Structures are given as structure tokens and as C-alpha cells.
Chains A and B, each alone.
Chain A
Amino acid sequence: MQIPYTVEQRPDTGLYNAKLGVWLFLASEVMLFGALFSALILLRTGATTWPHGYEVLNVPLATMNTMVLITSSVSMVMSWAALRLGDFGRYRKWMGLTFVLGLVFMVIKSIEYAAKFEHHLYPSHDNFMATYFTLTGLHGLHVLGGMIVIGYLLGPGSKMWKSEPERFTNRVEVVGLYWHFVDLVWIFLFPTLYLL
């Protein structure tokens, strides 16, 4: 059976199904990260002492990671624009760059984690480290999840471009929405954890 409304808009929503689906998913993601941010506020306002992020964490590395993620967001949106222009070759270049930047983000993050473990700073150390590892760990898992889908759309999933180009373009748009959300979460995580 054909999946309905993968390309054309549903008359009642005015959207193709995957787009509404991803926005509803992102709404649930807002609540997931929101709950953890709320826990951070509760722990921080209730604590007698709480370290400044910049005293414990590596700000230059995190700044670099912020730049990496912002760049990956623009490369993602460029890959979608390339498909809308019918330029598959350019799509592959931009999407490939997005994947590489995701990888760079994860490598920098693991360097940061390794340095913490070297100094025996584990989630069990204190509430600050527990919050830091939970929030950045969950965010890192989201980056990893995005990279898997990006890898699929660069590899076997890209065959769809030949048979159903519009549906493939919509898939890239939906993954892009997810990727930009992951970037958006980091935009708030970075100052909250590292700079305050």
C-alpha cells in the first residue's frame, strides 16, 4: 500500500505528513530537554555552592564545537537548497560536509570527556558534573542519531533521488529540521553549562 501524503500536502493540515510528524516529535524533544533544564535550575538554585562552568569545563573547545555545529546547520540547509535546485552533486557535497562536521563535533566532545575522566571527574563527582554529563551526553546521542540518518541519506537512501526526487527532497528537509533543533539545543546548553 502506498504511504499517503509523502509529497503532496494533506488538505486538512496543509503539510505533507512527515513534516507535521517531525514537528510533533520536536515538540516532545523540547519537553525532554526542558525537563533537564528545569532540573538544572532546581539543583543550581538549591545548592549552597555551585562551580562556574568556565572554571571546570573547557570553554575554547566548547566554543569551537559551537562553531562546528552552526556551520553544520548551514551546510544542511544548503544541501536541501541544492536538491530544490535539482543539483544532486552539490547536495552530496553539502550533506557530506554536514556529516563530517557532526563527526568533528563528536571527536571534540570525546576529547573533552576524556580530559574529565583523566581528572577523575565522573557524573558521580557532584551535581554539576552529573548535570553536565546528562545534558551533553543526551545531546551527543542526538548528534549521533542525526549522523546515522545523514549517512543513510548520503548512501543507500540516496537512490530515491532517481525514482522519487520530491519525496527525497522532503526527507532531507525533515532531517534538516531535526538537525537544526539539535543545533538550537546546543545554543542554549553552551552558555548555561560553560559560561555561567
Chain B
Amino acid sequence: MSGHSVEEIRKETRVYVLVFVALAVLTLVTVGVSYLHLSFGAAVALALFIASIKGTLVAAFFMHLISERKLVVAVLVLTAIFFVALMLLPLGGYVDRLR
């Protein structure tokens, strides 16, 4: 139906279960780390690092980006560039306040 054999699809479903377990464990790690009361900078860095790993797992396996066409990847790279620019915008305000 989708160009994959039954065995390949069954193998994929086993990977989905493993990803699910990894996501659940990482969620508990995120919560656990928040109880360590790290400095704000370290807490932000660690929380975003774990969230990025989880996000990558979801995008790569559940959204099957790992085997997706180049066009989709190109669209996402372009989006990522604009997204980073958007995240850096507040930096302008911060620099302005420092002056």
C-alpha cells in the first residue's frame, strides 16, 4: 500500500514504541532536573536541550523526517532560518537597553 513490506512496517512500529519510551523517560528527566534548582541560565539550557532531543525524536520518527523527500527538508531549513531570526529579535531590545 505504501511501498513498504509488511515486515518493514512492523519494524517501524517497534521503533515507534521505543521512541515513545524515550520521550516518556525524557519527560521525567525534564521534571526531575527542575527540582535541582540550578542557576537560571543552566536550567534554561538544560530544559531546552532535553526538549530539543524530544522534538528531534518526534520529527525524525513520528513525522518520519528521517526518510522524507529533500523538498520537505528544504522547506524546513528555510523555516528554521526565519525561526532563529525571530528568536533573536528580542536581543535587539536587550542591546538597546544596555546602551
| Cα distance A196–B42 in the bound complex, in angstroms | 10
Does chain B have a CB within 8 A of A41?
yes
Instruction: Count contacts on A: residues with CB < 8 A to the other chain.
Output: 51
Interface 1/0 per residue, B53-76 and A, CB below 8 Å: 011001100110000011110011
What is the minimal beta-carbon distance from B71 to any residue of chain A, in angstroms? 5
Does chain B have a CB within 8 A of A59?
yes
Instruction: Count contacts on B: residues with CB < 8 A to the other chain.
Output: 49
Does chain B have a CB within 8 A of A191?
yes
- Say whether A77 contacts B75, CB under 8 Å: no
- Say whether B1 contacts A54, CB under 8 Å: no
Chain A residues positioned under 8 Å from B50 (CB to CB)? 191
Chain A contact surface mostly: helix
**Which residues of A pack against B, CB within 8 Å?**
13-15, 19-20, 23-24, 27, 30-31, 34-35, 37-38, 41-42, 45-46, 54, 59, 63, 66-67, 70-71, 73-74, 76-78, 81, 83-86, 165-166, 169, 176-177, 180-181, 183-184, 187-188, 190-192, 195-196
